[in-house]
Chain A
Amino acid sequence: MKAVSPKPLPRRFHQASWDEPVIFELSQPGARGVLIPPVEPAILQEVGNVTATIPESLRRTTPPPLPEMSQVHVLRHFARLSQENLGVDLNIDIGQGTCTMKYSPKVNDQLARSPKLTDLHPLQDESTVQGILEVMWRLEQMLKEISGMDRFSLQPGAGSAAIYTNMAMVRAYHKSRGEGDQRNQVITTIFSHPSNAACAKVGGYEIITIYPDPDGYPDLSALQASVSEHTAALFITNPEDTGIFNPRIEQFVTAVHEVGGLCVYDQANANGILGITRAREAGFDMCHFNLHKTFSTPHGCGGPAAGASGVSAALAMFLPTPTVEFDGHRYYLDFDRPHSIGKIRPWYGVAQNILKAYAWIMSLGADGLREVAEIAVLNNNYLLKKVLEIHGVSAPYAKGRRRIEQVRYSWEQLSSETGVHSEEIGYRAADFGTHYWTSHHPYIVPEPMTLEPTESYSQADLDEYVAILKHIADEAYNSPATIHTAPHNSTCHRINQASYDNPDEWAITWRAYKRKVK
């Protein structure tokens, strides 16, 4: 494809800034989007009081506290917010490393919005929903092939829900062997997906964390010093958030198996290894996928997403209920599963996302999946080479080695030479219509920046992103004040973050805001 670069590079950009209030603050008492005409007397006489047909206990006594607005004001509100946004549909969105922000084909959204799906109800008889059950069953077969696992549940409503599911199955497995109390530790690594530690903690496990060895690989000696008869499981991501593939993963798995623990592969992001390596061949007992990362469903901005939990045959009896089964003629739900951990969320999975993942895989085929991984890795290593040509940036650990699908870079040198911090470079990037993510807390890598280009971006896109970083790095050395006061052309400027530390001040819902702040 011929590269079309904007001129000049980086492009000139200025974002809309509407100073838009929260929708609840726009409410005008009495304003309505649709005025519903009163029921004609003849109809009223014919059908009677419709409200009376609703059971008393389900009837509201007061109207819900929703904003009262006209249609055009609702439309304007959301149109303005959309102009104050960044993302893959607007610009090069490779800065949210670990999240796999690939382009999600719109045709898959169209399928998910089809009335054939949206008009279904989960309480319908199985005989009337054979289509979506078939999609669920077929997606399971595909994920089995991709991972080498023997069974999957698509019930979890997100990646972390899938990890939680796996944790619950680990617990059920040890309990079934009479070792539930004894095995009270879960081992993970500091560069693994943090949901591993979080979910295990929620499940009551003690968390043992392994730090990297001097080369940046998970420290095998530390793992060997950690395993014992208390080990319930190893929850590990590979490649880790640094983009470094753990070449000794087999030894990790062996060490845990030798003491009777289970090995759980976090494949939230499997984008760099599709069709190349599988959890089964690495010896894992379980794995999970975030369908919204690798399988493009896309990210749900808080949900619902979809997670898939996979297990070996020996653990299949613990999977959530129901499973989707096929007897050669019809698809059905199996609720008769006495060893199951039960339900992880209502119903059978987030059907729209399951359909989107299924459609995405079907559109690519097996060879296409491998090509996704190959292009994602190629893009990442091209980006790595280009970024490292910028003065002041480095890729800590595994010196001279390539990375898989992402890289955790460090601006430490630039920061010590100019006083400009990574967060500030991120703010300045917003002046060019993009952004980047630093790292999970805590910052092990100083002044971090995590980039993941996926397979969705062209060489010209990557060159443009590098040009932005290069431009900002030059500014750091020549006019750091420009960065210290950034962003200049973006909707939001610096936000006072003091409240982030204070649970009495932060509010993530309007109700909480009214309670705490007003």
Chain B
Amino acid sequence: MRIGLIVNPIAGIGGRVGLKGSDGAEIQHLAFELGAEPLSNLRAASALEVLSPLRETLELFTPTGLMGEDVARQKGFIPHLIGSLPQDTTTAEDTRQAALAMLDIPLELLLFAGGDGTARDIYTSVNTKLPVLGIPAGVKIQSAVFATNPRSAGEIAAAYLRGERIHLRESEVIDLDEDSYRTGLFTTRLYGYLAVPYRPHLLQSRKVPTPAAESVRMQAIASDVIENMQAGWYYILGPGTTTRAITTQLGFPKTLVGVDVYTREGAVALDVSESRLLQLINKQPTKIIVTPIGGQGFIFGRGNQQISPNVIRMVGTENIIIVSLAEKLNALQGEPLLVDTGEPEVDKLLAGYLPIVVGYREKVVYRIAF
């Protein structure tokens, strides 16, 4: 079996010194001057520790030095090295090049240690062509491509490589625009999806019915939404695999990361901006359909900023349909779903309890907060 490992050695260094991210050479330099220590290799080591019993059967491919070779050797692997990198500094381009090289091998699984910026670089190179799993090591962990901790990344990887009950899920890669973030502005983008293995809990008891495959449950959610679509209404669909299931069932096109507008009969406009949205829905009865984006349960303000406070006001909060797989709610462990539209007044309007469509004629009334 072949696995890849890419460590972003400077991931996370910004966080410890309060820099809200580690992207860009200047910031990294500043972070080191402020005394930051890279932790991503330690985190990668925790994940590899879990994999080390499988070492005899694994071929591990990794870039040289701090981008993977060092930690692999430290954990007893004899890695195949790809590329030749300078030892002192690494850049986002190095991550992208390493990921591109991984595509040619081919691998069963690519592990990477980093944050949202690293995930974005990996996505740029491999898209969904290769199963990828993130070892969380960055300052910003909003993307849904990371295991909950380094050890569980190792466990999921081991289970996947052993051929246990593991499924691949398209998971969101979200990242901030860090330049604007540092100056106080806060915008994120949904960049795309990585194919991420996840392990449903093993079921011990026969008393428990096996949950249907995720795709089947997404279809059930889509059926519920479609059953309630009305003639003459516009439907603004935010990005996400669950909203995409609706258009798939209808046979309509959908952009992967954009906001699109439909009627019951077909697409009205794809990948629209806020201003285009406002134009389209003016005096037009409209509903918004969104799904939580990323690992923290944001329904507005992450990856779907086109659905702006003005759009939400014009549509009316009573015309918002939230769809989600139930396990996304379960994974929040009691924390509310979040909104961060950029306007506190609109956030306040949305806060409270809203029904979330979790299946065909199945809803959860869940808390929304800001």
Interface residues of A (CB under 8 A from B): 99, 190, 197, 201, 205-212, 214, 219, 221-223, 225-226, 416, 419, 421, 423, 426, 437-438, 440-444, 446, 497-498, 500-501
**A221, B353: Cβ atoms under 8 Å?**
yes
Report if A206-B202 is in contact (Cβ < 8 Å); known contacts: A211-B334, A441-B211, A498-B165.
no
CB-nearest residue of chain B to A450: B205
Shortest distance in angstroms between B213's beta carbon and chain A's nearest beta carbon? 7
**A456, B300: Cα distance in complex, Å:** 53
Most buried by A among B155, B330, B352, B365: B365
**A446, B353: Cα distance in complex, Å:** 24
**A222, B367: Cα distance in complex, Å:** 7
Residue B283 lies at the interface, judged by CB distance under 8 Å to chain A: no
Residues of B within 8 A of A201 (CB): 361-362
Residues of A within 8 A of B330 (CB): 442-444
**A208, B355: Cα distance in complex, Å:** 8
**A441, B208: Cβ atoms under 8 Å?**
yes
Interface residues of B in 167-203 (CB under 8 A from A): 201-203
**B362, A497: Cβ atoms under 8 Å?**
no
Most buried by B among A197, A209, A221, A498: A209
Residue B363 lies at the interface, judged by CB distance under 8 Å to chain A: yes
**B50, A209: Cβ atoms under 8 Å?**
no
Contact of A438 among B204, B361, B362 (CB under 8 A): B204
**B362, A437: Cβ atoms under 8 Å?**
no
Interface residues of B in 1-55 (CB under 8 A from A): 50
**A416, B153: Cα distance in complex, Å:** 12
**A211, B210: Cβ atoms under 8 Å?**
no
Residue B366 lies at the interface, judged by CB distance under 8 Å to chain A: yes
**A444, B211: Cα distance in complex, Å:** 14
Shortest distance in angstroms between B177's beta carbon and chain A's nearest beta carbon? 33
**A421, B204: Cα distance in complex, Å:** 11
Shortest distance in angstroms between B5's beta carbon and chain A's nearest beta carbon? 20
Shortest distance in angstroms between B109's beta carbon and chain A's nearest beta carbon? 18
Contact of B210 among A219, A443, A444, A500 (CB under 8 A): A500
**B363, A442: Cβ atoms under 8 Å?**
no
Residues of B within 8 A of A500 (CB): 165, 203, 210
Interface residues of B in 140-173 (CB under 8 A from A): 149, 151, 155, 164-165
Dominant SS among interface residues on chain A: mixed
Report if A416-B151 is in contact (Cβ < 8 Å); known contacts: A208-B365, A209-B363, A441-B203.
yes
**A225, B352: Cβ atoms under 8 Å?**
yes
Report if A442-B365 is in contact (Cβ < 8 Å); known contacts: A497-B165, A497-B202, A500-B210.
no
Shortest distance in angstroms between A329's beta carbon and chain B's nearest beta carbon? 45
Contact of B366 among A211, A423, A438 (CB under 8 A): A211
**B353, A419: Cβ atoms under 8 Å?**
no
**B204, A423: Cβ atoms under 8 Å?**
yes
**A211, B364: Cβ atoms under 8 Å?**
yes
**B366, A222: Cβ atoms under 8 Å?**
yes
**A223, B367: Cα distance in complex, Å:** 11
CB-nearest residue of chain A to B50: A419
**B151, A419: Cβ atoms under 8 Å?**
yes
CB-nearest residue of chain A to B210: A500
**A440, B201: Cα distance in complex, Å:** 11
**A211, B329: Cβ atoms under 8 Å?**
yes
Q: Give 1 or 0 for each of B342-361: 1 = CB within 8 Å of chain A CB.
A: 00000000001111001101
Shortest distance in angstroms between A425's beta carbon and chain B's nearest beta carbon? 10
Contact of B367 among A219, A446, A498 (CB under 8 A): A219
Report if A416-B149 is in contact (Cβ < 8 Å); known contacts: A214-B334, A437-B207.
yes
CB-nearest residue of chain A to B202: A423
Q: A211-B334, A419-B155 are in contact. List 12 more A-B contacts (CB 8 A).
A: A190-B364, A210-B364, A211-B364, A211-B367, A222-B367, A225-B352, A225-B354, A226-B355, A423-B201, A438-B201, A442-B211, A497-B202
Residue B83 lies at the interface, judged by CB distance under 8 Å to chain A: no
**A211, B359: Cα distance in complex, Å:** 16
**A268, B366: Cα distance in complex, Å:** 27
Shortest distance in angstroms between A415's beta carbon and chain B's nearest beta carbon? 9
Residues of B within 8 A of A442 (CB): 201, 211, 326-327, 330
Residues of A within 8 A of B334 (CB): 211-212, 214
**A443, B207: Cβ atoms under 8 Å?**
no
CB-nearest residue of chain A to B151: A419
**B365, A206: Cβ atoms under 8 Å?**
no
**B361, A207: Cβ atoms under 8 Å?**
yes
**A201, B361: Cα distance in complex, Å:** 8
Residues of B within 8 A of A212 (CB): 334
**A501, B362: Cα distance in complex, Å:** 22
Contact of B362 among A207, A210, A226, A421 (CB under 8 A): A207
Shortest distance in angstroms between A409's beta carbon and chain B's nearest beta carbon? 14
Shortest distance in angstroms between A42's beta carbon and chain B's nearest beta carbon? 55
Report if A440-B353 is in contact (Cβ < 8 Å); known contacts: A208-B365, A212-B334, A219-B367.
no
**A441, B151: Cβ atoms under 8 Å?**
no
Residue B84 lies at the interface, judged by CB distance under 8 Å to chain A: no
**A444, B330: Cα distance in complex, Å:** 5
Can you report 12 residue pairs joining A to B where beta carbons are below 8 Å apart? A221-B353, A416-B151, A423-B202, A438-B205, A441-B203, A441-B208, A441-B211, A442-B326, A442-B330, A446-B333, A497-B203, A501-B213
Q: Give 1 or 0 for each of B220-263: 1 = CB within 8 Å of chain A CB.
A: 00000000000000000000000000000000000000000000
